[in-house]
Structure 1
Amino acid sequence: MQAASSAIFAVNNNGDANDLAPGDGVCDSDIAKGDQCTLRAAIQEANILRGHDTITLGTITITPGSPLPALIDDAGVTIKGNNLNSIIDGNNLVTVGLKLESDKNRIQGLLIWNFTENGIRVWWSSDNLIGTDSDGVGDAVERNVILHNGQAGILLMGGVNRVAGNYVGVFGTGTTASPNGMGIYIEGALDCGTVIGTNGDGTADAAEGNLISGNTNHGIYIHNSCVTVAGNTIGLNAAGTAALPNYRGVLIDELAPDTLIGTNGDGVSDVLERNIISGNSYTGIEVSNGADQVTIAGNYIGTNPTGDTARPNVYGIYVNDSDQITIGTNDDGFGDDREGNVISGNSGAGVLLEGENCTQNVVAGNWIGTNSSGYAAMPNFWGISIGSGAHHNLIGNDGDGQGDMQERNLISGNQVGVLITDDDASQNTVAGNWIGVNDDASSALPNTSVGIHILGAPDNLIGGQVGNLISGNPIGILIEGLTAFSNTISFNQIGVNPEGNAAIPNQVGVRIAAPNNLVGRRGNTNELDGNTISGNSQYGIFISGADGYGNVIAGNQIGTDGGGLAAIPNGTGIYVDAAPGNFIGTDGDGVGDSSERNLISG
């Protein structure tokens, strides 16, 4: 049995010869010349010697002629290069660059490229580190540059491992892409603990983020794994000034329990845990095919690193047929004010929820369509879009009395703030949001078309226990389409400020061209369910067309403040144009009839 050792092997030969006597403690591949240490020979020695050994590379380019040996020493091996000057060039060799098949290995300071498979593959092992150890000594030199490999730049198969401070898909200058097939692929890592980026421990966290850009498919692909992704730049150059797109920034597929993208809100390095996920060709983050219990918190998605300039994805966050996804604050009372995302500048939807299994998702505490301060527009086309059968999702406040203010989304500056569309998109709730105003609701920051648009979608709730502030838009709420029935608009402030004592006008507060919807309350519902619909420059409520029948307008303050004591006039309170069979006021059934009265004044 070999005695324990901690040997250091300095690679000084760019050839590919085997070691002459593996296990003798001497890295030498040439009996004639002596002291000729190739990378292959160094790995062969380290694998046999007991103890954690170190292999160092200086300025050298190594082009293996056949697959390099896997790292299999149970004590682990460190391979440490000199960043851009220590190159392992696959030259299109049909293999993996470096294979890690034991625990406690470290790969640092290498440029690994041109392998047809993976640049680095970690295979069912744990406690491996790819990149910086964040000890404050030479952290930048410990960066690996992993690019132009045919499959994933880094594959993590099982185990609990860490990838920190690397450039994946980008040259070392951070300005030019050289794509891997995908950046980082994590499969089967269900024992939570794998970290891509900063670990948020307060030590050198700024050095731990990866630049993952320019890859052909996904920047990061998480499949059947529990992973933390924090502090990375995904889809931009190193400075954040231009896009170097992946196709998808982050794809989370199938099982991903307790996966976290962004900050944990624990008060330690929360800002440094922010990912910048922008400039990608399709989605910034995509959660699909039954992935559940994923949290996306504290990120900038569609912007530059300072949150003041758009760097568009097409869709910021896309949740497809997945449930229990939290986008923003988790309402646990810890760090909730730090968990909101800025989701702005995307050319499609900031947040897109789709699919029959897209349910019980929560979007809370985010800035959607504004810059990071919330005082200037940075539009998505749709702030939030819900469709294709998505149901029982919550946009905003759950009204449980805990962290309610932090759960408010600011949804402003978009073309459409919230779109709910499709005749199967039902029982979604939009509550407690500010839509069409700036961050302190001191002035309008309009969605340029509609605040909330319900298009052919039935049985959704706008407001309820916690109402929305919907002001400053051309149209506050628009409901249209024959299948857009049984929607309820209640307890909202539409056209006024949060105090309800001054106007922030929409042009039209509520417009309806659909049947059988409720604006306000029925006599058997909570007496606070009525809306304040005031201060709108044209109409408080406008019902039009043959499809606009059977709607009930009851229990609202229209043209007054919230208490009904002061005038805040609309241009016209209620206007009905060629729309038959609507009810304005009480239904006369003897149940709460007096509370169904609208106050139409001002």
Structure 2
Amino acid sequence: MRHLVLVLFVAALALPAHATVFTVTSAADVPDDDVGDGICHAELGLPGTCTLRAAVQEANAHAGADQINLDAGQLYTLTRSGSDDTALVGDLDITDDVTILFFASGERPIVDAGGLERAFDVHGGNVTMLGFDITGGDATLPSDQAGGGIAVDFDAGVVQLSLMRFYGNRANFGGGLYNDGPDTRCSACEFFDNEEADDFVDSAGAAVLNRGTLVIDHSSVHANHGVGELGAFAIRNVPPFSGSPSLSVVDSTIADNLGIGVGNLDAATLVVRNSTIAANSNVGIAVSGVGGTFQMRNSVIAKNGGQDCTVSAGATLNLNRYNMDSDDTCELAGGSSNYPGVEPQLTPLAIHGGFTPTAWPLVTSPMVDAGHPVIGAIGCEEDDQMFAERPADGDGDGNARCDVGAIELSDDVLFHDPFERL
């Protein structure tokens, strides 16, 4: 928990120093009464009433960084049907620098799109969202198919999503998140029970569809699915009309999804570092098409329902960095730097004291103290999914070395039953 507090503290320091601050005081979905006057005042005839929609409108109208504070335990349901790019109706369109956050004690706020459209559309600006839930987004309208929770457009700046939960959203392209942005990051986020609709032959990404540059770190992606609980790609990395997308999965767990954990198509680049991809109902990682790149180190792919990996002959691989798979389908080279065809002994997905659910290695797992002997750019990550420092002496032999996968097992394990196993 101290590591989570540290993350929150660092996130707070990153907030704009001279931001105009709007504090949302009402759960009503009502627009601002005079957009551009610098005052968040909804059309309710009540002085001092600031709604989330009104705050977004004022932040868009005010040049420079702004901050929108959400209230503990509040449910913000979007009810204004329609489609525009001004946040007057439909989703909450963002066009300028803004931070939307809940950074206080109490129950997390929830933004519920109510099934009318997606929740947020980031058209431009540097955007930070911190500490709340997004649900009820639906991007399956004829003219609006991408990003059930959030869509990040080509012209967006730096987009940082931290300590966010995405659940109960659906879209043809990216049920939780669709990213076209050049610099988007999801840190300590959770994506679960999001749905990939299948109105198009190339519909993809029950949780995430990436066509830009995206980093997912210290996060968990689980229990996402297709229509009617059918299989789907939980995460898909697909080239846009021009350019090549890049997806990095770091210190994260992708597990228990119905279908394929991660799909990488054609000239896309997929990088997986210190992550666990397990127990997806079909394939763990599917690299298909021609011209793609798949890099992986210190990661485990195991116990997936079909097979751990399918890898196209046309892909460029860099996998010889202390990786483990359970069925020897990931084209890992043998020898001391990899562990092909090894049973990792993972516990079922669960919360083990951190923000996001994880699958821990048993104390007897061959993953323990089996990662790269170096910490840093060429070796293991400096911390694990729960922000615990690496390395730890998990096997108690007196020599600390990082573990393979998203979790660094300490020598004092209190949070899981050693007899449980995937």
Q: Post-superposition shift, 1:166?
A: 0.6
Which one of 89, 94, 100 corresponds to residue 79 of structure 1? 100
Aligned residue number for residue 284 of structure 2:
284
Task: Tell me, yes or no, if the aligned pair for 2:288 and 2:315 is still in contact at 8 Å.
Answer: no
Unaligned runs of 5+ residues in structure 1 are 132-142, 170-177, 198-208, 236-243, 263-273, 303-310, 330-338, 354-360, 379-602
Q: Post-superposition shift, 1:8?
A: 0.9
2:208 is aligned with 1:212:
no
2:153 is aligned with 1:123:
yes
2:271 is aligned with 1:260:
yes
Q: Post-superposition shift, 1:325?
A: 1.6
Inter-partner Cα distance in structure 1 for 2:35 and 2:365: 64
Aligned residue number for residue 329 of structure 2:
351
Unaligned runs of 5+ residues in structure 2 are 1-16, 82-89, 140-147, 197-205, 226-231, 240-244, 346-362, 367-422
Inter-partner Cα distance in structure 2 for 1:321 and 1:96: 37
Paired AA for residue 128 in structure 1? V
SS of the aligned residue for 2:328 comes to: strand
Inter-partner Cα distance in structure 2 for 1:351 and 1:126: 38
1:572-602 Cα distance to aligned partner (Å, 9 max, x none): xxxxxxxxxxxxxxxxxxxxxxxxxxxxxxx
Task: Tell me, yes or no, if the aligned pair for 1:370 and 1:377 is still in contact at 8 Å.
Answer: no
Matches within 5 A, 1:80-99: 80-81=101-102, 85-93=108-116, 95-99=117-121
Task: Tell me, yes or no, if the aligned pair for 1:145 and 1:168 is still in contact at 8 Å.
Answer: yes
1:182-228 Cα distance to aligned partner (Å, 9 max, x none): 11110144xxxx3111xxxxxxxxxxx11101111222211121222
Residue-pair matches, total? 288
Paired AA for residue 155 in structure 1? Y
SS of the aligned residue for 2:110 comes to: strand
Inter-partner Cα distance in structure 2 for 1:14 and 1:285: 41
Inter-partner Cα distance in structure 2 for 1:363 and 1:220: 28
Matches within 5 A, 1:291-440: 291-302=291-302, 311-327=303-319, 329=320, 339-344=321-326, 349-351=327-329, 365-371=337-343
Task: Tell me, yes or no, if the aligned pair for 1:326 and 1:362 is still in contact at 8 Å.
Answer: no
SS of the aligned residue for 1:44 comes to: helix
SS of the aligned residue for 2:59 comes to: helix
Aligned CA distance change for structure 1 residues 250 and 291 (closer, same or farther; 3 Å): farther
2:27 is aligned with 1:14:
yes
Inter-partner Cα distance in structure 1 for 2:74 and 2:176: 21
Inter-partner Cα distance in structure 1 for 2:167 and 2:107: 12
Aligned residue number for residue 209 of structure 2:
185
Task: Tell me, yes or no, if the aligned pair for 1:254 and 1:291 is still in contact at 8 Å.
Answer: yes
* CA RMSD, Structure 1 to Structure 2 (Å): 2.5
Higher relative contact order (CA 8 A, sep 6+): 2
SS of the aligned residue for 1:323 comes to: strand
Q: Post-superposition shift, 1:291?
A: 4.1
Inter-partner Cα distance in structure 2 for 1:5 and 1:221: 38
Task: Tell me, yes or no, if the aligned pair for 1:90 and 1:114 is still in contact at 8 Å.
Answer: yes
Aligned CA distance change for structure 1 residues 352 and 342 (closer, same or farther; 3 Å): closer
Task: Tell me, yes or no, if the aligned pair for 1:156 and 1:187 is still in contact at 8 Å.
Answer: yes
Inter-partner Cα distance in structure 2 for 1:31 and 1:293: 54
Task: Tell me, yes or no, if the aligned pair for 1:9 and 1:54 is still in contact at 8 Å.
Answer: yes
SS of the aligned residue for 2:94 comes to: coil
Aligned CA distance change for structure 1 residues 56 and 279 (closer, same or farther; 3 Å): same
SS of the aligned residue for 1:163 comes to: strand
Q: Post-superposition shift, 1:107?
A: 1.1
1:309-358 Cα distance to aligned partner (Å, 9 max, x none): xx44421121034322222x2xxxxxxxxx221111xxxx43167xxxxx
Aligned residue number for residue 161 of structure 1:
184
SS of the aligned residue for 1:218 comes to: strand
Using structure 2 for the length normalisation, give the TM-score. Answer: 0.63
